[in-house]
Structure formats: structure tokens, C-alpha cells
Amino acid sequence: MDRLVHLADDFGQSPWLDNLKRSYITSGQLQALVDRGVRGLTSNPTIFQKAIQGSPDYDEQFSALAAGAPHPIIDDYWAMVLHDINSALDIFEPVYTATSGLDGYVSVEVDPGLAHDSAGTEIAARALSERVNRHNLMVKVPATHAGLPAIEQMIAEGRSINVTLIFSLERYAAVVEAYISGLERLAASSTADLSSVASVASFFISRVDTEIDKRLDAMGSPEALALRGKAAVAQGKLAYQMFEQAFSGPRWQALADRGARVQRPLWASTSTKNPAYPDTLYVDELIGPNTVNTLPDATLEAFADHGNLVRRIDVDVDHAESDWRDLAAVGIDLDGIAEQLETEGVASFQASFNELLEALEVKAASLRNNA
């Protein structure tokens, strides 16, 4: 049996795939991964930029779209993206049913240009949810300051949300509060079905180590160098402690009694960037119940081949706490790094989004000129 199946069945962590392109659907590869134990899927603007620009798989659909009456190129983007999203939703529908709505979700991101626009994010998230209109869709909303009110509002409306681009424990606390507050507003209706709402809180793991390791290397002291490769896992373990505390006690129990689901921590960006570290580091060290790990293709195959199936998320938490304190003690500005990584994350997705739209504009003009 594949380690991916054991990960979910024996350890309570759902393996999701962090990738989507049309050939995965048409070739049967995505269905094969589901058969091996993959239980959900995440996408983002960078993934779609690579998929659409990197293969001819979208040419036929795009040519048909571009041949119509003049219209904004972003309409063509969404038509191609949602074609893939809807196909993936079909493939994961049986997983949603078999797990009673725990898994089987497919995530798609709102326009990254709205990351600092609360009202715009709310409108876009609602429109995307209503346009797709599938119970196993998760709309991705970034955990920026502006994103938090939109997250609460979407939950209050009974929509499932993947909260993305989390880089700090402080922001995670605000995300959890937005989720619980949204559920409390939804629960104000005596007929609301809280069990139909699902959410994950997505920490971007490897990016934390990449940035902090760079700064530790620059410091060069024995104390600093001894902390390399420890920050991301430590933060994940501390976040899990916060998760367990938030989703317990009288406030949460009142919602759980109405069928509410916990907002599971999701570990994203789990490919190992430093070749000196094990290629399954950010899977092995963060295994535990009520969590999700969304895996890029190579990391998924590496874990399936030689990952370590051991519950680690709540082991050596005292070491995680001391590592976190030590990072601050040697001069690592944890809050500043979180802010930097959030800014870079938003900018990266925006750049991919813009680059793809510009490429589609050029391609559409070429098709019209050759018609």
C-alpha cells in the first residue's frame, strides 16, 4: 500500500497535490494519483502560468475563445483555468463523498492583484464560488491584513476557503479568529449547516527556512549556523499547538455541537530547496492528525518512495520553542521576515498572473491577424 494511503488512514494527515495542468486530466494521471491516495488539490497563478504557457494543451480552447467578439483577455484566462478546475472537481468528487466532506477539495485563487483590497477580494471570492458552484471547491484568499475581513465574511456566508500565504504565528492567530468568528455569524441562523463549510490555513514552509538560513549564513557565528534548517519546522510545530488550543474549549465546542469542522493547518511549499536537507524533510517532520500537506510532484513521489511515516508534529515541541527563541536571540527578525515573505509571495503570484495575461494578449492578437 502506498505511503500516501497510510499517511491519511493511520496518521490523519491528508496528502494533496500542489499542481494542476490539463494533461494531468486528459492522460488519466490525476485519477491515478487519486487511486494512490491523493485526497485533494491546490493550484495558484504560478502553476497555471506554467501550465498554459508551457504546453500546447490549451491552444485549441484558447483559439476558439480568442476568435469570438472582442472581450477582456482575463475572461479567456478564467475560462481555461475553470475548465481544469471543474474537471479536477469531477475527479475528486468521489473522495469528497467517501470522506464525508473532509477531503476531495480543489483550490483556486482569486486575482492576486486584490491581495490588499478587502472589498475587491470579497467580491471576487463570492463571484468565483458562485460561478463554479461546487461543494468541493475551496476559494483561496491570502492571509494579508486586507484578506482577513474577506475570509470572515466568506465563512459567514457558508463558503469553503483555503487561507493562503501564512508566514507568521501572529497572522495565523488572526486567521483562526476570522474563521471562528465567521462560523459564529453563520451559526446565528438556526437553519445553517455548519458542516458544509470547510477551511484550511496554509503555511508556506520551505520559504521560511530559505530566507532565515540565508541570514544565519551571513551571521556566521556557531550559534547562528547551528540553527540552520530549524525555523520552518519549529514554526509548524508551534502553529499546531495553537491549532489544538484554538479548536478546543467552550467557544469551539458550541460550534462543534452544530457540526462545525476544524480549520486544518495545511503545510504548503513543502519541497526541499536546500540539497543538504532530506528531500522529504517538510513532510516527515510535520505529520500529525487533522492536517494537510500539499505536495509538488517530485516531493510526492519522494515521500511515496522513502518518506518516514512517524507522527512528529507534536513531538519535541519544547525543542521547537527553544529553537524559535534562539532565532530571535541571535538577531533574526522573525516579524520582519514574515512581512517580507508575504510581500514576495503576493508579488510572485501577481507577476505570474500578469505575465500570462500579457502572453495571452500577444497570442490573441497573432491569431486575429492570421485569421
Q: Where are the beta strands (DSSP E) in 110-239?
A: 137-142, 161-166, 199-204
Alpha-carbon gap, residue 143 to 313, rounded angstroms: 23
Instruction: Tell me the backbone φ, ψ of residue 186, rounded to 5 degrees.
Output: -65, -40
Q: At what angle do helices 169-187 and 147-156 cross, to 10 degrees?
A: 30
Q: Residue 294: CB partners within 8 Å, gap ≥ 6?
A: 15, 16, 17, 18, 40, 41, 42, 202, 266, 267, 268, 270
Is 140 designated active site? yes
Alpha-carbon gap, residue 72 to 97, rounded angstroms: 37
Of the listed 21, 140, 230, 363, which one is catalytic? 140
> Helix count (H) and strand count (E) of the chain?
17, 8
Angular region, 76: left φ>0, alpha ψ -120 to 50, beta rest:
alpha
Q: Where are the beta strands (DSSP E) in 110-235?
A: 137-142, 161-166, 199-204
Give the active site residues. 140
